[in-house]
Structure 1
Amino acid sequence: MNVDTGEPIKGVTAQGYSDNSAWAREQAWGVYGFALSYAHTGILACGLLELSKHLPVLDPRKKEYEETAVQIVKSLFENYTTEKDLSNGIIKHGVYAIPFHVGVDECCIWGDYFYVEALMRLRNVWNMYW
């Protein structure tokens, strides 16, 4: 990455056929990650807002993605924030290790992060750093 502009300089891979090839497993992880986002609403709101940025203005999905993201963030605000609670986080009822019974029904830093990112995106003050 260019440290002054943030633009990528080149891509280098140790996993794919070449620096210009697609890595099938990486693409599979991308699809899997997109599907997992469906289960994690803050991440999903951010993803929908990012997708809508890349659609033409007249594409009906653009408005649909944006409206869905707004509904998700509104639901998070109305039902899951710690606004009236003493807490070390923002979004309640997070989970990060169900099999080990650790971090069940707690605030999680990544949940708070994606909630704040979604809020920033909705205010049009979000700048991607990658």
Structure 2
Amino acid sequence: MELKDLADELEIISRVYERRFGVERTDDWLVLKLHEEVGELTQAYLAASGRSRDRGEEPGEADTAFRAELADVLAQLLLVARRFDVDLEAEVERKWFRWRHLVEPQDEDGVRTHVREAAAPGA
């Protein structure tokens, strides 16, 4: 799924959230909600890495919470980008991929192995 399509689907779900919980999804709310989600991600990371108080979670719950918060941050980020008409793919290309010419073989070690393995005959 393309990022734009994902953002459109998230917009629909976010509108359900607005309707169901009576939250007005203003520009400020979207950005502040992103900040809230990053805070929750930080909290979940600390729990998953054993650096917060024991909350009596079952094994694996902290990892599940961390994964869920990553999804929340991504979703909220895509909603903010959509609201402000930011093409994230183009911005990542402009901001990050301008460094492609500096990539050396060791920079790719272990990064794309799953892609190569899946494409290999008999995989």
TM-score tier by shorter-chain length is 0.3 to 0.5
Larger RCO: 1 or 2 (CA < 8 Å, sep 6+) = 2
Bigger CA radius of gyration:
2
Q: Greater strand share, 1 or 2?
A: 1
